[in-house]
C-alpha cells in the first residue's frame, strides 16, 4: 500500500467539520450545497467541500502545526460560508429535520454510497474529524492502537446530539447511534503491524466490494494516503472552545501513544459496548478503565489529562486542552442542548445551535 507517512511534520494537524446548511432565521434544513459552493470566494487556507447529502458542507483546514492555527482556518472557512447567505447548524444531528428531507448529492461517489447503504444515509449526521500526522507506518499503528483505548472517553466528551426528528432521543449522541446503521462504521481491532493492517484492509475491501479503504467509515483509522491517523468518532461541536479542547486532546494523546509502550487496548466487543455507553449517557457515563472496571468519566478524564498535558505543552495546545474540564463540567454539548431546549423549546435550541450571517 502506498503511503504518505513521514512526508509532513510529525503530529501536525488537519481538522474537518461537517455542518448542516440551514435557513438563518428558522434553522430549517436547506439542500443547497452546490449553490452555496458556487457563491463562495476562494479561502486563503483550507477548503470547503460538499458532502454526501446536499444539506451539508465540510470545512477542511489545511495542514497545521497547532490547534490555534487549525481553529483560525476553520473560523475563516465558516465565515466564508455564512457570507454566502446561509446558516450553519452545529450539532451532530439536526434536532427537528424529518427523515427524507435530506437529498443525496449528485456525485458519483455519493450515489455509490447511497446505493450501498440505502436508507441508512437518510438522516444527516455531522462529525468532527481530526487527522494527526505521523512519521512512519509502524508509528501509525502504534498511535492507532493506543487511541482505541481513549475512544469511549473522547466520545462521551464530544457527545453533542441528543435531539433528532423533533424529539429528545434519550441519547447524548444520536449521531453515534444513527451511524451504527452504516457498514464498517465501528472501531476495528488492534493491528499487530502495518502489514497486518494492509492485509486486513485488502480483505475487507474485497468482501465489501468497495473501491478502497476510504469506504471503511471506521471511527478511527490509519489514513496512509494522507499520512495520518484519523479520529472520526466525535460529534461536531457547538462552540469553538469545545472543538479546540477535543482537537488538543486527540493531538496530545496521539503524541503520547507514539512514545508509550505499545498497547492492544480493549477487545472489540468491550470497546463497542463502551462506545454505546458513551453515546447513551455522555459525560454522565460509567466507562471501563484498562482493567475493565466501570468508572465515572470525570475520573478517566483526570487520568487522560495527566498523559496529555506534557504533550500539550510541547505541541503548544496546553491552554486549549484545559477546556476539556470545563466542557465536562457543563454537561458536554448534549447537556447544553438540553438547557437550551428547556429554556426556549425547539425554536430556542435551533437558534442556539445556528451560526448566522453577521455573527
Q: Where along the chain do its domains lie?
A: 13-355
**Looking at residues 61-71, what average pLDDT do you find?**
98
pLDDT band of 87, cuts 50, 70, 90? very high
Reply yes or no on whether the pLDDT at 264 is more than 90.
Answer: no
Total count of residues recorded for the chain: 359
Maximum Cα interatomic distance, the chain, rounded to a whole number of Å: 54
What is the pLDDT, as a whole number, of residue 272? 97
pLDDT at 263 over 90: no
| pLDDT classification of 1: cutoffs 50, 70, 90 | confident
Tell me what the mean pLDDT of segment 154-183 comes to: 97
Average pLDDT over residues 269-276: 98
Asked whether the beta carbons of 338 and 331 are under 8 A apart, the reply is: yes
For domain 13-355, the CATH architecture is 2-Layer Sandwich (3.30)
pLDDT band, very low/low/confident/very high, at 280 (cuts 50, 70, 90): very high
Q: How confident is the model at residue 11 (pLDDT cuts 50, 70, 90)?
A: very high
The whole-angstrom separation of Cα 156 and Cα 164 is 18
Q: What is the mean pLDDT of residues 311-320?
A: 98
Q: Is 38:108 a contact under the CB 8 Å cutoff?
A: no
Give the number of other Cβ atoms within 10 Å of residue 111's Cβ. 13
| pLDDT score, position 273 | 98
Chain segment 211-245, per-residue pLDDT in tens: 999 999 999 999 999 999 999 999 999 999 999 99
Output the pLDDT for position 118: 95
| Distance separating alpha carbons of residues 29 and 42, to the nearest angstrom | 24
**Nearest-CA neighbor of 11 among 71, 64, 70?**
64
pLDDT at 182: 96
pLDDT at 304 over 90: yes
> For 35-45, what is the mean pLDDT?
93
Q: Evaluate if residue 311 carries a pLDDT over 90.
A: yes
The mean pLDDT of 30-55, rounded to a whole number, is 95
- Is the CA virtual torsion 285, 288, 293, 296 positive or negative? negative
Amino acid at each position: 500500500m502506498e503511503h504518505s507517512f513521514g512526508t509532513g511534520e510529525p503530529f501536525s494537524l488537519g481538522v474537518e467539520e461537517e455542518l448542516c446548511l440551514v435557513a438563518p432565521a428558522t434553522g430549517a434544513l436547506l439542500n443547497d450545497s452546490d449553490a452555496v459552493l458556487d457563491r463562495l470566494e476562494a479561502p486563503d487556507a483550507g477548503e470547503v467541500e460538499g458532502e454526501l447529502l446536499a444539506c451539508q458542507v465540510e470545512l477542511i483546514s489545511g495542514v497545521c502545526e497547532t490547534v490555534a492555527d487549525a481553529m483560525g482556518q476553520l473560523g475563516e472557512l465558516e465565515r466564508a460560508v455564512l457570507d454566502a447567505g446561509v446558516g450553519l447548524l452545529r450539532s451532530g444531528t439536526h434536532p427537528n429535520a424529518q427523515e427524507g428531507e435530506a437529498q443525496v448529492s449528485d456525485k458519483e461517489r455519493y450515489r455509490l454510497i447511497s446505493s450501498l447503504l440505502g436508507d441508512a444515509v437518510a438522516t444527516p449526521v455531522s462529525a468532527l474529524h481530526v487527522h494527526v500526522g505521523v512519521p512512519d507506518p509502524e508509528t501509525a499503528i502504534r498511535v492507532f492502537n493506543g487511541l482505541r483505548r481513549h475512544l469511549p472517553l473522547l466520545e462521551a466528551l464530544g457527545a453533542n446530539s441528543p435531539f433528532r426528528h423533533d424529539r429528545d432521543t434519550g441519547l447524548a449522541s444520536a449521531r453515534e447511534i444513527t451511524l451504527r446503521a452504516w457498514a464498517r462504521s465501528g472501531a476495528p481491532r488492534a493491528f499487530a503491524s502495518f502489514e497486518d493492517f494492509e492485509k486486513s484492509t485488502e480483505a475487507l475491501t474485497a468482501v465489501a466490494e468497495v473501491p478502497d479503504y476510504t469506504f471503511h467509515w471506521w471511527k478511527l483509522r490509519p489514513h496512509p494516503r494522507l499520512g495520518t491517523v484519523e479520529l472520526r468518532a466525535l460529534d461536531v461541536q457547538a462552540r469553538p472552545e469545545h472543538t479546540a479542547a477535543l482537537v488538543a486532546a486527540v493531538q496530545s494523546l496521539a503524541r503520547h501513544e507514539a512514545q508509550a509502550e505499545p498497547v492492544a487496548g480493549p477487545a472489540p466487543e468491550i470497546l463497542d459496548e463502551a462506545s454505546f455507553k458513551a453515546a447513551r449517557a455522555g459525560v454522565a457515563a460509567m466507562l471501563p478503565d484498562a482493567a475493565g472496571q466501570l468508572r465515572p468519566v470525570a475520573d478517566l478524564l483526570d487520568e487522560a489529562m495527566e498523559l496529555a498535558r506534557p504533550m500539550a505543552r510541547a505541541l503548544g495546545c496546553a491552554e486549549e486542552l484545559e477546556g476539556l474540564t470545563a466542557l465536562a463540567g457543563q454537561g458536554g454539548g448534549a447537556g447544553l442542548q438540553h438547557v437550551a431546549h428547556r429554556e426556549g423549546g425547539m425554536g430556542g435550541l435551533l437558534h442556539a445551535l445556528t451560526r448566522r450571517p453577521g455573527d
